[in-house]
Amino acid sequence: MMTDISAYLDFVLVLFLAFGLSFELPVALVILALLGWVTPAQLREGRGYAVVGIFVIAAIVTPPDVVSQLLLAIPMCLLYEAGIIAASMVSPRASASPASPR
């Protein structure tokens, strides 16, 4: 049985793009936190929804087998956690005491 080179290249390119884009997740979370659109607390609260969304995206992008889905979803979940940590480091913090007028 011979494999079709165009089908193989399509498969490889889709996987490369999926894994490449998944590693941009922490960068996207940090940018959203810097813009003030989300806070690290909101990211922590939405963790469950994010995990479900990650597994849905992994199921759509990868071929129909569980191993490749897990190979994409588990690093994305870990990268989401890394993004929360990075967003908490760079997000603007409110000052502890309000500025007193002088």
Domain boundary assignment for the chain: 39-90
Per-residue confidence (pLDDT) for residue 22, from 0 to 100: 87
Instruction: Measure CA 24 to chain center.
Output: 7
Per-residue confidence (pLDDT) for residue 47, from 0 to 100: 94
Mean pLDDT, residues 5-32 taken together: 88
Per-residue confidence (pLDDT) for residue 95, from 0 to 100: 46
HEC readout, the chain: CCCCHHHHHHHHHHHHHHHHHHCCHHHHHHHHHHHCCCCHHHHHHCHHHHHHHHHHHHHHHCCCCHHHHHHHHHHHHHHHHHHHHHHHHHCCCCCCCCCCCC
| Residues 22-39 pLDDT 10s | 889 999 999 999 998 999
| Residues 45-99 pLDDT 10s | 999 999 999 999 999 888 888 998 998 899 999 999 999 999 999 887 754 455 5
pTM value > 0.75: yes
